[in-house]
Amino acid sequence: MTAALQPDPGLLERDAELDCLESALHRAAGGTGSVVLVSGEAGIGKTSLVRAFARAHDHVRVLLGACDDLVTPRTLGPLRDAMRNRGGRLATALLGGDRDAVLAALLAELEDGSNPTVLVLEDVHWA
């Protein structure tokens, strides 16, 4: 675990949110995963908050995907985004399209003990 998160000069009044993310990361590094929902109006800096957090923790593996605002979104699109150019069991499962295999591979990916993993899913409201 690294030292306390240093404030990002571009983020204003986000100490509580950063502390929440820091706490979740600390629990994940200890083997207890969790979900953190960063919500709010468009343009208030949700993505900036998550990116600043990720930059401050270069030892953390960050998988980033986004939900589509399409009438017919891509099947498992956010996970496909997150695994782009990474390979491995989850990427293989996504190619096969078996949802049970994808779920099992995703859980294995998140439980990988070599480094804490943060899975960021942007725009979940479109899912």
Per-residue pLDDT tens, the chain, 127 aa: give them.
444 445 555 677 788 999 999 999 998 888 888 899 999 898 888 999 998 898 888 888 888 999 988 888 888 999 999 998 888 899 999 999 899 999 999 999 888 767 788 899 999 888 8
CA separation, residue 106 to residues 5, 41, 48, 92 (Å): 28, 29, 25, 11
Pairing of strands 117-122, 61-66: parallel
Q: Which has the closest alpha carbon to 87: 63, 122, 115, 120? A: 63
Cα 90 versus chain centre, distance: 15
pTM: 0.79
pLDDT at 10: 64
Amino acid at 44: I
Residues 68, 127 contacting (CB under 8 angstroms): no
